[in-house]
Structure formats: C-alpha cells, structure tokens
Structure 1
C-alpha cells in the first residue's frame, strides 16, 4: 500500500486536532477505533495461537503479548533469555487498520527497581535480533495475510494526533502500530 492509501485509512481512526484530547473526550475517530477493536478482539484466540507457535520456534526466548487497545495493533514480544543486566526484546506488530506488519527491537537494562530502554532499533536490526525478527514476520504474514511495511513508508509524517504523539512528529508507524513503541510489559 502507498503512503497516501495508508494515510487515507488512518485518518478514519485518528483525529486531526487535539480538541477532544483537551476536553478528555473520545473523538469520532477514536470511537471508530474502539469499535474496530471490538471486532478484532474476536481474533484473540488466533493471536494467542501465534504466540504458542513462537514459543516453539524461538526456544530460549520468553514470548509475551504486548497488545494495547489504545494503539492500533496486536503486538507480540520475544524477550532475550540473557541473564546479564543488558537485554533485548523483539516486537512484532500486526496492524488492525491495514494488512501490514512491522518488527522492531528494544535494547534495555534491568535493575531491581525497573527496566530502562536504552535504544529502539528499526531496520536494519542488530545481528542478535535478526533471526527472531524473521521468524515473527514470517509467522504473522502466514497467519494473518499481512505484509511488512517498508521502514521508509512507516516513517512518513502524518498530520494526525495519535495518543501522545502530535504533528509534526507523528508518523504512519505511530498510527498503524504503536504511539509509544518503547513501552512494553
């Protein structure tokens, strides 16, 4: 899909002004997004089956679900099994707005008190993230008929308000997948 086609889709689900956010109300666009989530949540069993498949295909990784209905995608996470303070996770996203997916990585360090993201990694991913990213992308594509969204398209700026993002920093990535990709459970 072209950036223009994707923008046309996401305009239907994200507002072009912050008026409703400032009033603490759901805009008509956000109401449509929540209604779409009610339909998409019927696919949750299929999504959980994907997580089960990832557990088999990615031994040594802890697999989890990072889906949040405030965003516009199902998200799965493969946490590295490393035991040193520096860890990484690979996150696979399946948009509910268009048949597209993306995979990205996070490097973080964990202390007794909290986990701190050191870096968000997009294409090209560091070497240790590439194999789990390929597996995730392949499984999401096969199971849900989505195709990978090229990074240059994902980075297209859009004039919409997506949760905590406002123009000019809002991109198609934020509207299709996650407004705060660094936040995972």
Structure 2
C-alpha cells in the first residue's frame, strides 16, 4: 500500500521549495540542500540499483537496459530500448523515488527527423499493449528489490504548489516532485 496523497505531498515539500526565490538567485534552497544530502546517502548504495539493472538485462534480453539517473531529479531512473535499430521508436522508463517508497514505469514514443530524436508522446497508464509486458517486468523488479509500491496515475497527476527545478505551479504535479520534472528527457 502506498502513502496517501497528503503524506506524499508532505514528503515532497520537504525537498522542493514553495517559492522560486532561490532559483531566481541561483542558490540552493534549504529544501534543495536536503535533497542533495539525501542523494549523497542514496548514492552510497547505488550498487543495489545497478544489481537490479543487471537482473533486468537478463530478464529482458531483447531490450537495451541503461541507467538514466540524474541527481537533479528525485528518483533513480532506468531506460529500456529495443535492440532492433528499426524499432527504436519507443522506450520504457522505470523510476524509483528516493524521497518516498513509490515507483512508476512509463513509456516514450519517438519520432525521428534524420538523426534527431524527439518525443512524440509520453505514455502513462494504461500503456500501449506492446509496452505492457516489459513494463510489468520492470515494475515487479523494482517492487521486489526495493519494497516500493506503484504510484497510481490519479495520485501522480495531483497538482502541487512546489517548484521542481524549473517546473512551476500550476504545472507541477506529484509525479514531477517524486520522480522527474522532465520525464521526456532520457539518454
């Protein structure tokens, strides 16, 4: 069972400011400093995350599994791309929040113009049929290895009055605060 929406908001506001004062000054807010300190602790145990990626590589040999973690977000992130060159039109992204015991898996569909890749669509619940099998494997692996629970989409979409990187209210949601303010950006 996942924490309530109210509990998740309370957790998130401990790590993201409610004003843009510090961003405008180019300084870290007290909340951002807490997130940075938490990342320092979590990175000491990143080997568990990498072990999960290794297991996913074995369980999903048809996909290229990679790490997309960036400490400006509030989650460990992994990517799963098709190995077939002509099918690299989509990816799955698994996110494990470092601030709350929740995770999500979402999809990205791409368009290419020459060598330039752009995201044409972010796919949340329900995922397209072709993404569901591998997404289920990623979700079960995160849940099993880290004890996190899937964050329901309706909770993830809850607006929050927080500044998450350069995402400002009223466009900021719990998804942004718990996982990533730029879900479309992956390597």
Shorter-chain TM range is over 0.9
* Residue equivalent to 2:103: 101
Shift of 1:115: 1.5
Q: Which digits, 9 at most, give the CA deviation of each residue in 1:94-113, with x for residues without a partner? A: 00001000000000134553
* Residue equivalent to 1:7: 9
* Residue equivalent to 2:75: 73
User: Which piece of structure 1 moves more, 163-172 or 84-93?
Assistant: 84-93
Q: How does 1:163-174 map to 2 (within 5 A)?
A: 163-174=165-176
- Paired residues of 1:50 and 1:139 also in contact (CA < 8 A): yes
Q: 2:42 aligns with which of 21, 40, 43?
A: 40
- Paired residues of 1:86 and 1:109 also in contact (CA < 8 A): no
> Could you say what the CA RMSD is over the residues aligned between the two structures, in angstroms?
1.1
* Residue equivalent to 1:154: 156
Q: 1:85 to 1:127 in 2, by over 3 A?
A: closer
Q: Which digits, 9 at most, give the CA deviation of each residue in 1:34-55, with x for residues without a partner? A: 0000000012111001000000
Mapped partners of 1:78, 1:134: distance in 2: 12
Q: What secondary structure does 2:161 align onto?
A: coil
* Residue equivalent to 1:180: 182
* Residue equivalent to 1:113: 115
Mapped partners of 1:98, 1:133: distance in 2: 21
User: Which piece of structure 1 moves more, 101-110 or 169-178?
Assistant: 101-110
* 2:98 is equivalent to residue 92 of structure 1: no
* Residue equivalent to 1:18: 20
Shift of 1:80: 1.7
TM-score (norm 1): 0.97
Q: Which digits, 9 at most, give the CA deviation of each residue in 1:74-101, with x for residues without a partner? A: 0011012232275110000000001000
Mapped partners of 1:74, 1:114: distance in 2: 26
Q: 2:51 aligns with which of 49, 52, 77?
A: 49
Mapped partners of 1:160, 1:70: distance in 2: 15
TM-score (norm 2): 0.96
